[in-house]
Amino acid sequence: MSLVIGAFTIGLILSLLSMGVWISFRVLRYTDITVDGTITLGASVVAILMVNGWSPWTSILMATLAGAVAGGVTGVLHTRFKIQELLSGILVMTALYSINLRVMGRSNVPLLNVGSIAAPVARLLQGAAGEGDTLMLLGWRVPLQDVAMLLTMLVITAGVAWLIKAFL
- Domain extent listing, the chain: 1-30+116-168, 31-113
**pLDDT above 90 (res 68):** yes
Number of Cβ atoms within 10 Å of the Cβ of 5: 18
- The chain-wide mean pLDDT, for the chain, equals 92
Share of the chain above pLDDT 90, in %: 71
More confident residue, 131 or 106: 106
Mean pLDDT of 54-83: 96
- Buried b / exposed e over 142-162, threshold 16 CB at 10 Å, is bbbbbbbbbbbbeeebeeeee
Q: Give the pLDDT of residue 110.
A: 94
**pLDDT above 80 (res 90):** yes
Share of the chain above pLDDT 70, in %: 100
Among the listed residues 111, 115, 118, 116, the one whose alpha carbon sits nearest the alpha carbon of residue 153? 118
Query: Which run of H or E residues covers position 140?
Result: strand 140-143
Q: Give the pLDDT of residue 59.
A: 97
pLDDT in tens, 27-52: 888 888 898 889 999 999 999 999 99
Q: Give the pLDDT of residue 60.
A: 96
